[in-house]
Chain A
Amino acid sequence: MSMEAELIRSLIRRPATLLYPFKRRPLIEGLRGKHTWDSERCIGCGLCARDCPAFAIEMIGTGPTAELKVDLGECIFCGQCEEGCPREAIKLTEFYELADPKRKNLILEFKRESV
């Protein structure tokens, strides 16, 4: 008999769920989402590709001309690339809506502008 008060309270409360995608909850700071890459900072050491547990990162070339390919379909968003990067060149942003019907569109190709 201890649940009646709770039931009545719940009747007048708003629903616990949000009407997504019409309403979105505010972005949480530090959420692990889509990658960004700063070509100026990257020295092409390849630590991100070497440590990636899902083998989602491919480094094309080596050294200062190296470019980066990230497969979001493979990525498990653990943030090891961000953690291991000695120059803070690769970072995860808060953007999380990444669904796409084509796998091809999930591959992020980061190019250097001046090369």
Chain B
Amino acid sequence: MPSTIKIPFGPQHPALKEPESFLFEVDGEYVVDVVPRIGYAHRGIEKALESRTYIQNLYLIERICGICSHAHTTCYTQAVEEALKVDVPSRARYIRTIVAELERIHNHYLWLGLLAHEIGFDTLFMYTWRDREIVMDLLERISGNRVQYAMNIIGGVRRDITPEVSSEITKGIEVLSERMKYYKKVCSDEKTMLARTTNVGVLKAKDAVSLCAVGPTLRASSVKRDVRADDPYAAYDEIPFQVVTNDGCDLASRVATRCDEVVESVGIIQYALDHMPKGSIEVIVSRVIPSDEVVSRVEAPRGENLHYLRSNETDKPARYKIRAPTLANLSALCKMLIGGYIADIPAVIAGIDPCFCCMDRLTFIDVNSDKTWNWKCDELRRHAIKWHKEQ
């Protein structure tokens, strides 16, 4: 009899909001090995992008993810603007920054609630989600919608921030900052929270870097890496801010990092509102994009977003590739889970702030026969072993 037992987790599981499967090999209560199976939420977005115009793609890109929709469109518009060699007006860059930071606040509030829900602390979940309404209302006031903001257009932004809206934002973010400071205190004082997060899902700095973790997951392992600071886009080069890191390397430090990031975001928004230059918010651009190859990076709330565009002098992209942060964090997630308890699995998975629908696009295309098929990780592995044997 083998000493370990294999337990499938997902694709339909109460602890997962999205379909994704993990195969856990366990020894008693300990997790020995994890095999993630991605691909359950594959929607063929990259192929769909190639058959739509650049303007239509704005809204398809926005729907890759419901939470970091603005980050994806910022990344997309940056890539297209780079191919067009267009400079975006500085007021538009500031507005993009403000919406991006509001989105980060929204995401971190949502994430804290979800984590609290996973560990059974539903009171905190209700409180954070109640306060999340403030930032959603602000985003609705700016853009006209609570989730898919449609603020970015190629060459600028669609709507301006008027002085009245600006004062509403100032009022709103002050409350959000105070509330988040309170939640950080709760998370570092409450016994329930401490018992479930301290020394859970440990990811050492060395592992985080070698497994290519991104975003708050990486920064919670005391690695100071942030696209906003390392490769500034939008208006981040003109706004002073600190890259928040934490050296706890566990789930508790991931909570603290995200709480501090919200406070930092509030500072960025306030500075951007105070120093926003006057002027136009968009430039008129051509519908046809000259042939070029561009890689664009944006720090989404969950981590680094990477978009690749190849254009061919038509109004449709020739190839578009998206690398969402959850895919980058997946191998680090497996590392975190190994050696931990089975009971900690939901909390650790929730801890990287997973968004599987953003990530699932592992498709193979045979260029000779135009055949398309999907492969799961282990199928790919089997194929690789077989192929090498035959060589």
Contact = CB atoms under 8 A, between A and B. Distances in A.
Contacts of A78: 58-59, 62, 148, 150
Nearest to B61: A53
* Interface size band for B: 20 to 34
B159 A51 contact: no
Interface in B41-70: 52-53, 55-60, 62-63
Nearest to A25: B137
A39 B23 CA distance: 60
A1 B56 contact: no
Main secondary structure of the interface of B (DSSP, over half): helix
Interface in A52-81: 52-54, 76-80
Given A53-B59, A80-B55, A30 B186 contact: no
Contacts of B185: 2
B130 A16 contact: yes
Nearest to A13: B130
A51 B55 contact: yes
A7 B133 CA distance: 19
Contacts of A53: 52, 55-60
Interface string A67-97: 0000000001111100110000000100000
Contact of A79 (B55, B127, B150): B150
A28 B141 contact: yes
A26 B53 CA distance: 37
B140 interface: yes
A16 B133 contact: yes
Contacts of B186: 2-3
Interface of B: 52-53, 55-60, 62-63, 123-124, 127, 130, 133, 137, 140-141, 143-145, 148, 150, 153, 158-159, 182, 185-186, 189-190
23 contacts: A1-B190, A2-B190, A3-B123, A3-B190, A28-B141, A30-B141, A30-B144, A31-B140, A31-B144, A31-B145, A32-B144, A32-B145, A53-B52, A53-B55, A53-B58, A78-B62, A78-B150, A79-B158, A80-B55, A80-B56, A80-B150, A83-B153, A92-B144
